[in-house]
Amino acid sequence: MKIVDARTRAVAVPLERPFLAGGLHMIERIPFALLELRTDEGITGLGYAFSLSERPFGSIVAATDALSQEAVGENPLEPERVAAKLGRAFGWAGPVGVVNMAMAAVDFALWDIAGKAYGQPLYRLLGGHRDRVPCYYSGALWRDFGLEELEGAARAVLDLGFRSMKMRMGSEPPRGEEERARVVREAIGPEADLLVDINQGWTPYHAIRMGRMLERYEFGWLEDPVDHRDVAGSARVAAALDMPVCAGEYHYGKEPFLRLLNAQAMDIAMVDLLRVGGVTEWRKAAALAETFTVPVASHLLPEIAVHLVAAVPNGLTVEYMPWSLPLFLETPRVQDGMMVLPHAPGLGLELDEEKVARWSI
């Protein structure tokens, strides 16, 4: 089998509820680079990458198109070989940044083809045996919400069938942050799981102080409390708190996870599918975490991540962020707080071409 054609398209998915990103600018739509690889046996594989900002998006589209053209003529059932070829071809500009994201898009498409060729959903192809995995809702409790809006949004997440959710903090004075935690915890009750994401907003000292204050609200984890480059600082926070520290989403490739693990800088590894380089590299990062008995959580793209969390022994939970879901005719459903694995081969995804045409940019 050989790849005979590669096509990249750009779309922008509108958000039902725009949000403030990093306290800097309002996000109203998410731009995606959609990649399709076609084989000489008539199988088409789907991959994609995205950006929260449209300013760097053009480079992601260009990189995805360039790397995918290098994959033409290759056997899609050999993802390691294709990744090595692309790494050599674009090593001058990589292996981090947009090159990694574009390589992830190609890798997604390769695994989609493999699953379709063997008639197996991706998680089965990877040896997964679970038919459902825990998940949490991530796109509801934003920093710019007032207390009343937070309370209503938290209850609405429970009404959707989720039993776990994540809120953002990092922009309020200590007592204001504590009040936000109290409002959400009281809204969802003691049985639901609550996570908190700081998005690198605190210093180690402030993270320890705030973490101790927030532990009474029984957060399941404290995510990215400090700058992702401050491995020693993250280790200080992890050692000082009973609350688990979750980190890793900002890192490119698998190698940084070894540094985090060796430094005991995280209790839970969060691996971003795009930044790590796709399915192939995500599994390697998860295996590194497994050797340290550290569980792994996914970051974004739940429709792909559900396969990976189900396929690794230390898979903990899937981040259910709905940004990408409107692109597809059908996506994995949530039942009693669990994501149900699809039965269709490959990624199990089919683009909604009417929406793709409408959202084309």
Look at residue 109 in the predicted model and tell me its pLDDT: 99
Confidence of residue 23 (pLDDT cuts 50, 70, 90): low
- Tell me which residue of 77, 135, 94, 72 sits closest to 276, measured CA to CA: 94
The secondary structure of 8-30 as a DSSP string is EEEEEEEEEEEEEETTTEEEEEE
Query: Do 88 and 154 have their domain in common?
Result: no
Task: Name the residue range of residue 66's domain.
Answer: 3-119+353-358
Looking at the structure, tell me whether residues 92 and 157 fall in a common domain. Answer: no
Residue 348 covered by a domain? no
- Write down the pLDDT at residue 19: 87
Looking at the fold, whether 145 and 89 belong to one and the same domain comes out as no
Tokens of 325: 């879901």
Residue 281 is given by DSSP the state H
In total, the chain counts a number of residues equal to 361
What pLDDT is stored for residue 90 in this prediction?
Answer: 92
137 and 109 in a common domain: no
Question: How many domains does the structure of the chain reveal?
Answer: 2
SS3 86: helix
End-to-end CA distance of the chain: 32
Q: What's the pLDDT band for 20 if we cut at 50, 70, 90?
A: confident
Specify if 281 maps to a domain: yes
Average pLDDT over residues 98-109: 98
Predicted local confidence at residue 302, as pLDDT: 99
Q: How large is the average pLDDT for residues 280-306?
A: 99
Residue 345 placed within a domain: no
Q: Is residue 228 domain-shared with residue 310, that is, in the same domain?
A: yes
Q: Read off the pLDDT band of 24 (50, 70, 90).
A: low
Out of 60-69, 85-94, 189-198, least confident range: 85-94
Q: Where are the alpha helices (DSSP H) in the chain?
A: 57-71, 79-89, 98-118, 122-125, 147-159, 174-188, 204-214, 231-240, 255-262, 273-276, 279-291, 302-311, 353-358
Q: Is residue 346 in a domain?
A: no
Same domain, 106 and 135: no
Residue 328 lies in a domain: yes
User: Which residue type does 10 have?
Assistant: A
114 and 148 co-located in one domain: no
Q: Are residues 152 and 286 in the same domain?
A: yes
**73 plus 168 within the same structural domain:** no
Q: How far is CA 22 from the centre of its chain?
A: 17
Q: Which residues pair with 30 in a beta bridge?
A: 13
Q: What is the pLDDT of residue 22?
A: 65
Tokens 């081969």 locate to 345
Identify whether residues 37 and 130 lie together within a single domain. no
- With vertex at residue 277, the alpha carbon angle to CA 89 and CA 134, rounded to the nearest 5 degrees, is 165
Instruction: Check whether 53 has a pLDDT greater than 90.
Output: no
Query: Which amino acid makes up residue 309?
Result: V
Which tens digits make up the pLDDT trace of 149-194?
999 999 999 999 999 999 999 999 999 999 999 999 999 999 999 9
Is residue 229 over pLDDT 70? yes
> How far apart (Å, rounded) are the C-alpha atoms in residues 312 and 126?
8
The mean pLDDT value of the chain amounts to: 97
For residue 330, being part of any structural domain is answered with: yes
What tokens appear for 183 in the block? 């409002």
- 266 CB contacts (<8 Å, ≥6 apart)? 234, 238, 245, 246, 247, 248, 260, 294
Contact 329, 350 (CB under 8 A): yes
Q: Classify residue 277: in a domain, yes or no.
A: yes
pLDDT tens profile 199-221: 999 999 999 999 999 999 999 99
Averaged pLDDT for residues 229-235? 99
- Residue 93 confidence (pLDDT): 87
Residue 347 lies in a domain: no
Whether 211 and 284 share a structural domain: yes
Q: State yes or no: cis peptide before 14, omega within 30 of 0.
A: no
Residue type, 302: P
Round to whole Å and give the CA distance between 15 and 23.
17
Beta bridge partners, 10, equal: 33
**CA 229, CA 181: separation in Å to the nearest integer?**
27
CATH number where 39 lies = 3.30.390.10
Cα dihedral sign, 178-180-183-186: negative
> Given this model, what pLDDT does residue 179 score?
98
Q: Per-residue pLDDT averaged across 112-117, rounded? A: 99
- Same domain as 222, residue 95: no
